[in-house]
Structure 1
Amino acid sequence: MQFEVNKNTLSEIKKLIPENNTTAISIMLKELHHADIAEILDALDFDSAIYIFKLLDSEVTSDILTELDDNIRDKILQELSTKEIAEEIDELETDDAADIIADLSDEQKKEVIAYLEDVEHAKDIVDLLRYDEDTAGGIMGKELIKVYEDWTMFTCIREMRKQAENIDKVHTVYVVDNHEVLKGRLSLKSMLTTSTKTPIKEIYKDQIISVK
């Protein structure tokens, strides 16, 4: 994660968990962005992370899953039924949904897809899962916006506006180098809190995968 969660908030939550003070924890988390909550979960031991995750409303947990480190996310998924996983990814963009279930067994993937209410969304996810994970199709969903790592945030925002004219929803901004190699992704928070003069290469989340 590119930003640091408030240490006092993390410390307070760690104290509240053994007390099982779900009301106080819920109030604290309600004020946080989903990316900040994901950082808290990443910083906790697994039992505490799953305890917090299960306190949260489904409206935020799906977004949290997209921000979690792979290790903790995989462990959380192991604690959920395939129906619960389907509910988590139902509102996500296709690339994030496919990424979340990519490491599930084939049987689990089929069950998750079967539980999805939006048939078209399910088809789009299946299409992405059929790609090799190292290709552009398997990484970049149908809501793709692409920017270059040597751009400033000002150039990035200007180009995003142009690309967004042809996209219904914008969920993920991908960063590539001049050779079209995928370098990472930009989070919404980094875009909102970063100076327009800041180079993209200084703030994106690493995700080294070749775009073929």
Structure 2
Amino acid sequence: MIETIVLDVGETLTSDDRYWQSWADWLGVPRHTLSALVGAVVTQGLDNAEALRLLKPGIDIPAEYAAREAAGQGERLDENDLYDDVRPALTAVRDLGVRVIIAGNQTEKAGRLLRALDLPADLIVTSAEWGVAKPDPAFFARVLQASGAMPHETLYVGDHPANDVFPAQAAGLRTAHLRRGPWGHWWADDPDVIAAADWSITSLMDLPRIVTY
């Protein structure tokens, strides 16, 4: 039985549209160009940040991030960035007595912005706040500490095989791969992903069914 559900953030709870659009505007390139490059790195199994390096070789991403913040063009996150199924799905699983944790590779600012949305979750935390990021096994050790349940009673939900499904499975957690966003769609039918994921889902509204299976 699933006692705790832990969810990734980008392209699991929130759309990355605004994130990539803002980077394209900051770098002065057409939004479609950056979007296409993100797709290209996804199909190669590379980190999304490689798309920025293709546009601007040698880019210092943390320095650019700081410059954007200083210019008032930094991270933004509000209700419009949430997928429509987020609130009803998380509410439904909590009503079933399941603990809900949100933990993904995000900045400290993103953590504050997420908590400001008052989501139906028991804990919201980011990799920057923990000081360790996926797919590092130490991240999933922190997940299990926060879970309050055994690994086989903890379900990690995400769209990214390399950051979510594979390392969560290696840590002994149950896993659900979400067909959402570039990573989720491109890798959904990969045999290794299918084998590693306990469940393959197309909506967070599948989660209440999973926790009562």
Q: TM-score interval w.r.t. the shorter chain?
A: 0.3 to 0.5
- Considering only CA atoms, is the larger Rg found in Structure 1 or Structure 2? 1
Given the two structures, how large is their TM-score scaled by the length of structure 1?
A: 0.32
Given the two structures, how large is their TM-score scaled by the length of structure 2?
A: 0.32
Structure having the higher helix fraction is: 1
